[in-house]
Amino acid sequence: MGEGATAPRPAVFIDRDGTLNRDNYYMYRFEDFRWIDGVPEALGRLKRAGLALAVVTNQSGINRNYYTERDVLELHRAIDQDLMAREGVTIDGWYHCPHNPNVEKCACRKPAPGMLLAAARDLSLDPARSYMVGDKLIDLQAGLAAGVRLPILVLTGYGQAERDRAPQGTVIRDDFPGAADYILKDFLG
């Protein structure tokens, strides 16, 4: 490592809709955003324990012209402001894939690992010491393809329906706060 470089740090890669918030089908306005109970506090605990937080979210509504990229960026800014007001922390990096899988193939749309790899590069994260939390099989697949230490399926959002499809070795928790409890116990040893 060169002078001034920092060692890659552990992180929690997190799906957005259905994991952090109620999945309101192509949501792009903060007025429609609803945290799942206990999520802001769980994010605060993870961040204060020294884990970076990177949200990785498929947002094909951009390509489908339901909303704009600017709408997504504004929503993420508003979520960060709300999280700062509640817990004194923000998300380290927001990554979204705007592509419509019916129109184009890309390297960023989950289950591809592109967003996680971009976050790892941009934020100096170590996937091998990190976790992926999501409510869909594609979240777990993206995490495994990026080399995360552990995928965690939450049973909120689509999680209940995806449970039987989870790869062997996947940790399953009721919700994101439960996933955070597991991560903190594992991380802090």
Catalytic residue chosen out of the listed positions 15, 92, 135, 139: 15
Which amino acid, 12? V
Could you tell me which residues are beta bridge partners of residue 152? 133, 171
Question: Is 156 within 8 Å of 177 (Cβ atoms)?
Answer: no
pTM for the full predicted model = 0.95
pLDDT tens-digit series, residues 16-42: 999 999 998 899 999 999 999 999 999
> pLDDT under 70 in the chain at which residues?
1-5
Q: Rounded CA gap, 175 and 155, in Å?
A: 6
Confidence at residue 4, expressed as pLDDT on a 0 to 100 scale: 57
Active site residue 15: yes
Extended strands (E) in 33-103: 52-58, 93-97
Residue 37 appears among annotated catalytic residues: no
